[in-house]
Amino acid sequence: MSASASYRSRRVPPMTPAAALRDTAGIAKRYLLRTIRMPAEASVLVIQPALILLLFRYVLGGAIKVPGGSYADFLVPAVFIEAMLLSGMSTSIGLALDLKTGIIDRFRSLPMARSAVLAGRTLSDLVRSVFALALMIVLGVAVGFRFHCTPAAAFAAMALVIAFGYAFSWVYATIGLLTKDPEVAQGVAVLPVFILMFISSAIVPVATMPGWLQPVARNQPFSVTVNAVRALLEGGPVYHWLWQSIAWSAGLLLIFFLVAVHLYRTITS
Amino acid sequence: MTEPMIEARALVKRFGSATALAGVDLAAEKGTTLALLGPNGAGKTTLVRILTTLLKPDGGRASVAGYDVTADPGSVRSAIGLAGQYAAVDELLTGRENLELAGLLYHLGRAERRRRAQQALERFSLTGAGDQLVKTYSGGMRRRLDVAASLIGRPAVLLLDEPTTGLDPRTRNDLWQFIDELVAGGTTVLLTTQYMEEAERLAHRIVVIDTGKVIAEGTAGELKDRMGGDVLVATVAARADLSRASALLAPLGEGPPQVDPDQQRVSVPARDGTTVLIAAGQRLAGAGIALDDLGIRRPSLDDVFLALTGNAGRPGDEPARGTLPGP
C-alpha cells in the first residue's frame, strides 16, 4: 500500500438494479411484518373508508341527486380511491416514526440502495391498499354497487385506482420525510384525504359547485381518476379521463419520487 | 505510521448560523479505540454523523477505512457499522429478523446472513430471546441487539455514539469487554462518551472536544500529565464558603481553581503537593472556613476535562458572567 495521502479508489461496486430490488424487497417485508403484527393500525385503514361508504350511502346520499344511475354506482368508485388515500397515510406516519426512532439513520449508514427504504415502504403500502380495495369491492356490492361492464374494463378500472394510490404514496412519503414526527405527519397527511375527496366529483356532481371552484374540482387527480373509473364501469367517453388520470399518476409518481429520494439522501433527523 | 482507519482534517459543519464543528482534526489507527469525549452539544454526534455519511461536511475532509466520506460514501458505508444513541431496531420484528434484515442490507447471501444472525445472538447472549419480538426486550437487550446489528456486516470500523448511556453497570461492563475483544481482533472503534471512566477504560487515544473544537488529545496518561502533577481538593462544610475558599486557594495552584458546587468542592492543580497542602490548610483555617475534607490526589480525567472545558469561562458561553477582562 502506498504511503501517499490520497484516498483509496472505489472498492465497492456501484449499486446494481438487482441489489436495489433485493434491498427494496427486504424493506417491504419488514413493513408487511409490522402490519401483520400491529393489526389495529391496519384495521383502522379499512374501517375508515367503510365508514365513509356507509355514511354517504345511507345518511347523506339520500339528499344527493346524481344524473342517471344509482347513487351506489356513483359513490363506490370514489370510495375505492378514498381507500387508497386513507391507506397511504400510514406511509407518512411510518416514515416519520422511523426517522424519530433513528432506524432511518441505521439504514442510511448501510451500503443499501438510496431509494430502497422509500420504495419498500410504498410497495408494502401497495399490498395493503390492494387488500383494502378488495374489501371495499365486497362492501360496495353489499350496499348495492354493481359492475356493469366487461371483466377487462373492471380490471382496467381497478388498475387505475391502484396506480393512483401508488403514485400518491410517494406524496405521503414526502410528507413523512418533511414532518419527521408521526403526529405532525398524521395531521398533514389527512389534508389530501379530505381536500381531494370533497373538492372533486367524488361525492357530488361538480356542476353543483360555485363556478370558480369547478375547474379545480373537475381537473384534480381524484376527480379525473374517479371519472375514468366510472366511465370504464358504467360506459361513456373513457379516453379523455383515462389519459388525464394516467398523466396525473405518472406525474405525481415521477416528481414525488425524485423529491422524496432527494430528501432521504440529505435528511437530518 | 500506518494508514489511519479514521481520519478527519479541518472538518467544519454549520447548522444555519451555529457552528457545530469548527475545524476538527483526528485520526485513529487500525485496531485501536478512539474515544471522543465531550459534554452535550460539543459536536460529538455531528462528527459521527459525518463519518458515517449521514451528514455532509461544510469544510475539510474525512476518510473512513481509506475512503473519502464525501467522494465515496458507498464504500464508506460498506466498511462501517453504526450504533447510535437510540437502539435503532424494529420493535415489531424479532431479534433474529432484525439481524437478518441488516445482513440482507449488507448484501449477504441467505445462508450467510442466517449463520451470522445466529452467531450474533449467541455472542450477545440473546439466543433465548432471538425469536421474540423486540418490544418484549429490556433496554439492555435492545442495545445489545443494536450493536449486534451494526456488526453483522463485519465492519472494519465501528462507530458507537454513546453506546452505554442508560445501561446498567453489568450490561455496560459486558459491552466494554466486547469492544475490547473486537479491537483485539483488528476492528477500529470510535466511540463518543460523556464518561471519563469509559474513555479511560476503553480508549487508546482520547480526543476531548468542546463547542466544536478539539481542546486536547492524547492517551489518558498524557492528558493527566497536562494537569502538571497532583490536585489539591478542599471540601467545605458550608456551601456559602465555596467562593471564598476558591479565592484563597487560587494563588496556590498551577492553574485556575475548579469549583464543584454539588460536591461543595474546590480543586486546584498543585505541583508540590505537600507544601501546597500545608499552605492551603493554614489559609483556610486562618479565614475561619470549616472543612469536611482536605487532601491531595492524583488527577482524574474529570479534573483534566474540567480544567480544559470547565468554568474558567468559555468564549461565547454565558457572557453575562463578564468577569474576565476584555482583550
pLDDT tens for A39-79 read: 887 787 788 889 999 988 888 877 777 777 788 888 999 99
CA distance A61 to A5: 75
- Asked if B105 lies within 8 A of A110 by C-beta distance, the reply is yes
Which chain A residues touch B67 with a CB distance below 8 Å?
7-8, 10-11
User: Which stretches of chain B sit within 8 Å of chain A by CB?
Assistant: 3, 49, 52-56, 63, 66-68, 71-72, 74-75, 77-78, 80-82, 84-90, 92-93, 97, 101-102, 104-107, 133, 149-150, 153
Report the pLDDT averaged over residues A140-153.
Answer: 91
CA distance A200 to A153: 23
Residue B268 is inside which H or E element, if any?
Answer: strand B265-270
Q: Can you give the pLDDT at residue B197? A: 84
CATH number for the B226-310 domain, one of 3.30.479.30, 3.55.10.10, 3.30.70.100, 3.40.309.10?
A: 3.30.70.100
Q: Can you give the pLDDT at residue B318? A: 34
More confident residue, A263 or B273: A263
Report the pLDDT averaged over residues B55-84.
Answer: 93
Domain boundaries, chain A: 19-31+38-266
Place of cell 450467510: B112
* A positions 69-108 inside 8 Å of B (CB): 101-103, 105-108
Q: Can you give the pLDDT at residue B327? A: 37
Facing residue for A34 by CB, picked from B66, B87, B92: B92
Report the candidate in A52, A51, A32, A56 with the shortest Cα–Cα distance to residue A42: A32
| Torsion of Cα atoms, A244 then A245 then A247 then A250, to 10° | 180
Q: Can you give the pLDDT at residue B247? A: 85
CA distance A254 to A226: 21
Facing residue for B84 by CB, picked from A10, A105, A110: A105
Q: Quick count: other Cβ atoms within 10 Å of Cβ B256? A: 15
pLDDT tens for B264-283 read: 888 888 877 788 888 888 88
pLDDT > 70? residue B227: no
| B38: DSSP letter | -
Of the candidate ranges A198-202, B53-57, B183-187, the one whose mean pLDDT is the lowest = A198-202
Of the candidate ranges A75-84, A258-267, B168-177, the one whose mean pLDDT is the lowest = B168-177
pLDDT > 70? residue A93: yes
Backbone phi, psi, residue B257, to 5°: -70, 145
pTM for this model (two decimals)? 0.82
Confidence of residue B300 (pLDDT cuts 50, 70, 90): confident
CA distance A44 to B12: 47
Facing residue for A10 by CB, picked from B75, B92, B153: B75
Provide ipTM, 2 decimals.
0.85
The fold for domain B4-218 equals Rossmann fold (3.40.50)
Report the pLDDT averaged over residues B224-245.
Answer: 80
Collapsing DSSP to helix, strand or coil, A178 comes out as helix
- Alpha-carbon gap: B221 to the closest alpha carbon of chain A (Å): 30
Query: CB-side exposure of B133: number of CA atoms within 13 Å?
Result: 11
CA distance A132 to A126: 10
Q: What percent of chain B has pLDDT over 70?
A: 93
Whether B45 and B190 have beta carbons less than 8 Å apart is answered as: no
Residue B61 is inside which H or E element, if any?
Answer: strand B59-64
Cα angle A216-A221-A227, degrees, rounded to a multiple of 5: 90
Q: Can you give the pLDDT at residue B155? A: 94
- Alpha-carbon gap: B144 to the closest alpha carbon of chain A (Å): 15
Domain boundaries, chain B: 4-218, 226-310
CA distance B248 to B267: 12
Which chain A residues touch B71 with a CB distance below 8 Å?
7
Confidence of residue A7 (pLDDT cuts 50, 70, 90): low
**Sign for the pseudo-dihedral over CA of A66, A72, A73, A75:** positive
Query: CB-side exposure of B255: number of CA atoms within 13 Å?
Result: 22
CA distance A133 to A135: 5
